[in-house]
Structure formats: C-alpha cells, structure tokens
Structure 1
Amino acid sequence: MTTAISPTMGVREWTLLLGLSILWGGSFFFVGVAVQELPPLTIVALRVGLAAVGLWVIALVLGLTPPRAPRVWLAFLCMGIINNVIPFSLIVWGQTQIASGLASILNATTPLFTVVVATCLLSDERATPLKLVGVITGFCGVVVMIGLPASAQPAPWLPQLAILAAALSYAFGGVYGRRFKTLGVPPILTAAGQVTASGLIMLPLAFWLEGAGALAAAGTGTWSAILGLALFSTSLAYIIYFRLLATAGATNLLLVTLLVPASAILLGVLFLNEALSVTQFAGLGLIALGLSAIDGRLWPRRLALRS
C-alpha cells in the first residue's frame, strides 16, 4: 500500500525540482570531460561507487545507521538495478553511437512513460487530460530547444531504442521508489542504499569487461569531473530525488527530464558565455507552458475541473 502524495507541487517542490535539474544538467559536462580518458562502464562504476561513499559519510555524520531488514536491502537492490544499472548502462552505450542531442530528446520521454506507468500502478497518480497535454507540450519544447541533429545518414535504430528503454526503466524506478516512504527509510539512506547496490554490481562488471588500466592514466581534470559527477550529480541529486519522490510523486518528479536540457543550456549561457537563440527561447517557452499545464494552478479552474 502506498501513501498519498500531493498532485500539485508547492514552491518548495518546484525549487527542489529546479535544483535537481541543474545537478543532472551539470552531469553532461562532467561525463563529457571524463569520457575523454575513461571507458563508459568504468565511469558509471566510479560514479555510483564514490557516490555511495559520500552518502554513507553524510548519513553517519547525521547519526543515521544502515537499515538491517533484509526486505529493505532487497528493495535497494531492485531500485539500484531499475534506476541506475539498467538506464545508466543503456544511455552510455547508446551515446557511443548517436548524438548527445538526440539522446537527450529520447531521454526526455521519461515523463510520458511515467504518466502511463503511474496511471497503471498507482491509485493516487492517475493521469488527467491537462497533465497529458502538459507532458506532450513540454516534450515538444525539448525537441524545439535542442533540435534534431543534422546528419546525412539516419541515426541507427538500436541505440535509439536503448535510450527509450532507459527512459522506461527510469519511469518504473520512479514508481517503484515510492515504497521507501512506506518502509520508513529516510531519503539519505534510500539514496545511499540504492547507489551501494548499484556499485556492488557495476564495479566488478566494469573491471571484468574494461579492466583497470585506464585509471592509472587518468589526469587531474578527469578525476575532478568524476568527483563532481559522483558527489554533486549523484549523491546530492539523489537526496533531492527521494525527498521529492516522497512528497510530489513519480509523475511530478520525473518532469525533471524536461528541465535537464534547459538547465544545461542555461548553465552554458550563464557561465560559458554561450548565446541563447530565438529557437531555444521558443523551446523554453513550450517547456514552461507544459509545466504550467501539469501543475494546473495557473490555468482556468474550469479546465482543471474538466480534467
């Protein structure tokens, strides 16, 4: 049985969602640096392994102790597989063959999958027409903002299916993660348990398939990127993720995948002196319109009632 969540997010939830989008938007930069010297699965293994260390340090400082119930650790293992191992690996493999812009667009289908999965599995997150319109509008905004990569050759279909499968896995992860609130596990311990389980899988897998030779040759910049990816884009991000999941629900939480591309572009404008084009402004407008429809409070009350 799941506890009820609020279908409408308040100022705190929207602020946390924006912060999460910035942290995950920054992960594209960190991965872009690290992938120059390290193979993909090694990056994923280091990301979850170091994130686990960081989260357990925070938990111990706060006086939190690891749960002992086997069912909780089984839930951590399942969540780690669904929300980290499968999607991280699929996305990294997919991006070795298709453009990052196309991968971002495909990953932004996560809220669409989440609306369907949550409607089927959660009694308190049924889709409304207004929310469906908002998700589709926001996704169109992502496509407009990033644009389809120009290429004389069509992108291979298998990597694209891999990114879509990752988005579907994230959707199931968001729905499955709702159970940690009923188990009484604090967000920090939930985050720590999930990435620990992921690390126990990914570390031996990466060593077996890719070896450890590249680690010795990695430079300071690469290790700095790995630490940023692990501690900020994973440890801190997942604390926010599970706090939002407990209060706002899976459907609202995974709207972050619509905001991540916008955050990444805006970070480039603010800190890298990049220019924001008219098309990107239009995409931002569509994303904002979609998010407002999903939230519902700025729309006429009669539309909300009809939905």
Structure 2
Amino acid sequence: MKARDTLDLILLAAIWGASFLFMRIAVPAFGPVALAFVRVAGAALMLLPLLAWRGEFGALRRHWRPLLVVGTTNSALPFICFGYATLSITAGLAAIFNAATPLTSATFAWAWLKEAMTRWRLLGLALGFAGVLGLAWHKAGLRGSGVDLAVLLAIVACLAGTLLYGFSASFTKRQLTGVPAMALAAGSQGAAALVLAPLAWKQWPTVPPGAGPWAAAIAAALLSSGLAYVLYFRLIARIGPTNAASVTFLVPVFAVVWGGWLLDEAITPAMVLGGLVIIAGTSLVLGLLPRRRA
C-alpha cells in the first residue's frame, strides 16, 4: 500500500475503534435504540446530499428493497446489539468480539454463496471461534460457580451483531453487486433510520441527555458512520477488499487504547490473549496468512 492508503487505514481503525467509546459514553443516557437511531440518521443526513451531488440518487429508487434489508441487518440491529452490550462490558472488550465479524462473514459466504473453504480458512474459523468462546467463557464467569448474567447477555448481543454483519455481507454480494458504493452506504443508513424511527420515538429517553452524551452520539453518526464509510469504500477501490478488511485487526487495538486512556477501562491478560487468537484466526480467513511466495 502507498503511504496515503496506510494513513487512511489507520485513521479508519481509529474512528471505528472510537465508535465503541462513543457508545459507552452515550448509551446510558440515550438507550441502545435511540442511540442507534441518532447514529444512522446523522450519517444519512451527511451521506445523502453527497450522493445527490454525485448524481447517483436513482440507485436508491431501483434498489430500495434490498437496501432496506441491508440497512436493517448491517446497521439498525447490530448498532442496537453493541449499544446494549456496552452497558455491561467495556468498549475494548466489545470491539474484540466485533473482530469476529470476518469469521461469521466467511461462514455465511461458504454456506450461502458456496465460496470455497480451504484448509487454511477452516483452521482460521476454528481458531477464531475458539478465541471467542474462550474469552466469553472467562469474562462471563462460566469457568466458576457464579455466572455474571449481565456480562453473558452482553456477549450474546455482541455475537448476534457479528452474525447480522456476516449475513448482510453475503446478502449485499448476492443482491446489490454493481450498485455504487456511495449509494449503498447512504441508502443503507437512510433505510436504517426509517426502520428505527418508530422504535426510537417510543423509547426516547424521558430525561434529556446531557451535552457529553449528545457530543458522543453526534461523533458516532458523523465520524464512525458517515466519514468511516467514505474512507472504507475509498480503500476498497484503491487497495481491494481483502487489504481493506485488514482494518479489522486494528479496530480492537484502538478501542482498547481509547477506553483505557479516556475511561480508565482495565486491559486484562485474558482480553489480550483472546484478542490475539481471534485476530490470528481472522487473518487466516481473510487470506492474509499465510502469504504465497512470489
């Protein structure tokens, strides 16, 4: 990659890592549903005018049905899942579980799209899921006599979010191949906002959120969804989807650093070990390891 691409990749990882920090700050005041709505609505307001400026607005009319599915499964529901999770677990731990997304994506692609499953990818899946299970087993207290139900439900919510991401990736490839990337980004965020609007209306907080939670929610909308989509699709166009997916390795690192620096979240040996195992498995699934000789 060129220096510019490397900088974009690091910036994207820092922004997506910060999204877990933003959720951790804002979700106690907003609740998972209202926060998810603010995030997707803000991103849509940022991306839709850009889409119109590019002259690609017609793609939304032609593909609104699959975009509605993608918006629901790739934004609305996963944002609720991870928002709920950060009520009980740290931002860094939620990001580590989120790093399992390429594992679920590969599983759906194999089962649904009949993509080839090499021995290295099978090994990566087994290794990655072992890391997820081991970390969940440790953090929820399943190895002892006392199970922390709140933490266990938070972990289940994280894994449900990664399953939704995995399904959405295969659905997008099957139903929306050839749709401009910006139309996919803007349309999915707008669709997610429409889906969440009635739920957010019913679950809007009775006590108005303060300036800090609002700032975190707006940052999540404009940076973690709006700007991040632009960076991500630009990277895909310049360096390809596999290299762009390597951002998955850096997101938990930034999330742990942000959480430890700004929220004094503890970084435990179990988090480090579990994260390394998940990242190693993910690298095999993405084909980044082992590299063939030229």
Determine if the TM-score, normalized by the shorter chain, exceeds 0.5. Answer: yes
The TM-score with structure 1 as length reference comes to 0.73
8 A Cα contact 1:51 1:235, kept in partner: yes
Q: Note the alpha carbon deviations across 1:85-123, whole angstroms, 9 max, x for none.
A: 222223333444x42466445444322221111112335
Indicate the percent of aligned positions where both proteins have the same amino acid.
34
Q: Note the alpha carbon deviations across 1:148-193, whole angstroms, 9 max, x for none.
A: 43757313355544432222111011112225763332x2221111
Task: Quote how far apart the aligned CAs of 1:298 are.
Answer: 6.0
Task: Quote how far apart the aligned CAs of 1:45 are.
Answer: 0.6
8 A Cα contact 2:34 2:200, kept in partner: yes
Q: Note the alpha carbon deviations across 1:121-149, whole angstroms, 9 max, x for none.
A: 335x4222213333544566678899943
C-alpha separation in 1, matches of 2:233 and 2:31: 29
Structure 1 unaligned segments of length 5 or more: list them: 1-9
Report matched runs for 1:23-172 at 5 Å: 23-60=15-52, 62-67=53-58, 70-96=61-87, 98-100=88-90, 103-123=94-114, 125-137=115-127, 148-149=138-139, 153-156=146-149, 159-172=154-167
- Determine if the alignment matches structure 1 residue 192 to structure 2 residue 192: no
Query: What's the counterpart of residue 197 of structure 2?
Result: 203
RMSD: 4.0
Query: What's the counterpart of residue 214 of structure 2?
Result: 223
| AA aligned opposite 2:169 | G
8 A Cα contact 2:102 2:285, kept in partner: no
Indicate the SS of the match to 2:30. coil
Indicate the SS of the match to 1:154. coil
Structure 2 CA distance for partners of 1:254 and 1:38, relative to 1, 3 Å: same
Structure 2 CA distance for partners of 1:282 and 1:166, relative to 1, 3 Å: closer
Task: Quote how far apart the aligned CAs of 1:30 are.
Answer: 1.0
The TM-score with structure 2 as length reference comes to 0.75
| AA aligned opposite 2:43 | A
Structure 2 unaligned segments of length 5 or more: list them: none
Indicate the SS of the match to 2:147. coil
Query: What's the counterpart of residue 3 of structure 1?
Result: none
Indicate the SS of the match to 1:299. coil
C-alpha separation in 2, matches of 1:289 and 1:230: 30
Structure 2 CA distance for partners of 1:36 and 1:275, relative to 1, 3 Å: closer
C-alpha separation in 2, matches of 1:280 and 1:40: 24
8 A Cα contact 2:30 2:204, kept in partner: no
Question: Which of 167, 172, 176 is the matching residue for 1:177?
Answer: 172
Bigger CA drift: 109-118 or 188-197?
Answer: 109-118
C-alpha separation in 2, matches of 1:198 and 1:264: 24
Bigger CA drift: 264-273 or 190-199?
Answer: 264-273
C-alpha separation in 2, matches of 1:44 and 1:188: 20
C-alpha separation in 1, matches of 2:129 and 2:253: 11
Bigger CA drift: 126-135 or 72-81?
Answer: 126-135
